[in-house]
Structure 1
Amino acid sequence: MNNNRITIMMVAVIFLWGINVVMIKYLTNYYPPLALAGIRMVLAAAFLLPAVWYQGGWQRVPRAAWWPICGVGLFNIFLHQIALSWGIKATSATHATLILALNPLLTTLLASCLVREPLSRNKLTGVALGLAGVLLIISGKSDTMGATLLGDGVMVIAMLVYVFGSLCVKKSTQYAPPLTVTIYSHLVAAPALVVLGLFTNPVWVYEGAFELWPIVTLLFSSWFSTALGAVLWNTGIHHIGASTASLFLNGQPIVGLFASALFLNEQLVWQHYLALLLVLLGVSLGTGAFNSFRKGT
């Protein structure tokens, strides 16, 4: 796959995932968080099933592939969706977006540790700047309606488990195609989320859940942001690696931040812009994007 196609795919992921935070925040007005996670993953799995037949039916994968595939299902889908739905419900979309912006930085750092690459000064500086941005927004909750310390903490967990899951994606796509990994991991995680929802939710929908816009938003979030976004992301990781793929997520907080202001009327104040600057600068330094840009110029 050529570089132009990979770039287009990863830019699409930026927009799909950037607006997905806003859509999930909107949908928590109509569905309990854990019910929403199960519903979205079932719809995403159903959307992916026709792709199985398009690629020639169910494919056997090596036994060694099942552990990392289950890891993708556990971290990228099951735990991430639980924390994402609950965290966004308990905080603002603005805070959620900025916390998730640390994903590329921590992905790079964790990947470096696992392959025993030394931590450079830029990476350590990037960690400090990124953490400063997160501390800035969670210490200024009064500036954003609906933000709570608990919700921000859960969003940090959502970000961390997705970082671990991205490394599982890289491992699993060494044994099976990205589409196969995506489908099987969704089929593993979706039933588990439904079972969890059955035990934790006395009701699955709130008033107005079956009106036009909640349904349209739910389907778009499930089919395109979640299912299609996962296929594109896993394909990108397969071709260019988790660390390099994470560079493209630098634009996600920009999309999510301004989408939350545009669609949810969340107020942006100077702390948010400064936090965004710190997180993006930290990500750029930690992943090497800043040095690559200077060399390119």
Structure 2
Amino acid sequence: MNNNRITMMMIAVIFLWGINVVMIKYLTNYYPPLALAGIRMVLAAAFLLPAVLYPGGWQPVPRAAWGPICGVALFNIFLHQIALSWGIKATSATHATLILALNPLLTTLLASWLVREPLSRNKLLGVVLGLAGVLLIISGKADTVGATLLGDGVMVIAMLAYVFGSLCVKNGTIYAPPLIVTTYSHLVAAPALVLLGLFANPVWVYEGAFEPWPLAILLFSSWFSTALGALLWNTGVHHIGASTASLFLNGQPVVGLFASALFLNEQLVWQHYIALILVLMGVGLGTGALASWRKGT
């Protein structure tokens, strides 16, 4: 797969996941957070499963792949989705997207240590530029309506879980294709989330949950932002590594911020536009896209 295709694929992930934070925030008005996580993962697994079965039926998974697949299920899906659904309910969508933006920094550092991915100067500078954009926004958002310290703390857990899950993805795709890792990890995690939801929630839906608009957003969030987004992300991690792929996540809070302003009426200020420039520079520098563009010109 060439670099241009990978770049476009990761940009698609940025948009799918950036708007997903806003969609989940909206859906918590109709579903309890833990119930919502289980429902979304079941729908995502059902969306992915035919792609695995269609070519030649159920395929055995190499034994060496099961450890990483279970790691993806535990960190990327089970813990991440629980913390994500609960944290977004307890804080503002703006704070949620900003905290998730710390992912690239930790992923880059841990990937160089645990899976021996190269740690280049440009990659570190890209992380620093992206993080600078995030910190710039945070400095002006202390009074964000709906934000709580507890909610922000839960979002930190969601971010850390995804960092460790991304490293499991890198190891898992050594032994099995990204589609297999993505689908099987969802099949492992979805029942656990449903059982937790049944235990924690006597009521699974609120009034209006079955109206056309909430259902349409639920399906889009589950099938496209969650299932397709995870498949594209895991494919990208397989080809370019967790640390390089994570740099694209610096664009997720930018999408989330503008989506929050558009759909949730959260206010945008001048810091957001400067942060957008810093994030684009960081992604371009850290992934090598900026150098490729210069050569092309």
Do they superpose with TM above 0.5?
Answer: yes
Equivalent AA in structure 2 for residue 170 of structure 1 = K
**Could you tell me how far apart the structure 2 residues matched to 1:26 and 1:250 are?**
23
Equivalence for 2:17: 17
Q: 1: distance between equivalents of 2:92 and 2:285?
A: 27
Deviates more, 1:52-61 or 1:41-50: 52-61
Output the CA distance in 1 between the equivalents of 2:163 and 2:172.
15
Q: Does 1:195 align with 2:195?
A: yes
1:70-219 correspondence runs (5 A): 70-115=70-115, 143-219=143-219
Could you list the per-position Cα deviations for residues 103-143 of structure 1 after superposition, in whole angstroms to 9, with x for gaps in the alignment?
Answer: 22221111011245797777777777777776776676653
Q: Aligned residue pairs: how many?
A: 297
CA distance 1:168–1:93, shift in 2 (3 Å) = same
Contact 1:34–1:201 (8 Å) recurs in 2: yes
Give the AA of the match of 1:264.
L
Deviation at 1:277, TM superposition (A): 6.8
Q: Per-residue displacement from partner, 1:141-183 (whole Å, max 9, x unpaired)?
A: 6531111111111111111110110110111111111111111
Q: 1:64-123: per-residue Cα shift (whole Å, max 9, x none)?
A: 110000000001000000010001001111111111112222211110112457977777
> In 2, distance between residues paired with 1:72 and 1:91?
26
1:27 — aligned with what? 27
The answer on whether the counterparts of 1:89 and 1:151 sit within 8 Å (CA) in structure 2 is: yes
Q: Aligned partners of 1:102, 1:63: CA distance in 2, in Å?
A: 33
More deviation in 110-119 or 205-214? 110-119
Which blocks of at least 5 consecutive residues in structure 2 are unaligned?
A: none
Structure 1 residue runs without a partner (length 5+): none
The change in CA–CA distance for 1:263 and 1:117 in structure 2 (over 3 A counts) is: closer
Q: CA RMSD in A?
A: 2.7
Alpha-carbon distance in 2 for matches of 1:74, 1:50: 23
SS at structure 2 position matched to 1:145: coil
SS in 2 for 1:173: helix
Instruction: Please give the alpha-carbon distance, in whole angstroms, between the structure 1 residues aligned to 2:100 and 2:255.
Output: 12
Q: How far apart are 1:248 and its partner, in Å?
A: 2.3
Distance across 2 between alignment mates of 1:143 and 1:95? 11
Q: Percent identity?
A: 89
Deviations 1:24-58 (A, max 9, x none): 00001111110100000011111112112223211
- Structure 1 window deviating more from structure 2 (192-201 vs 125-134): it is 125-134
Structure 1 counterpart of 2:7: 7
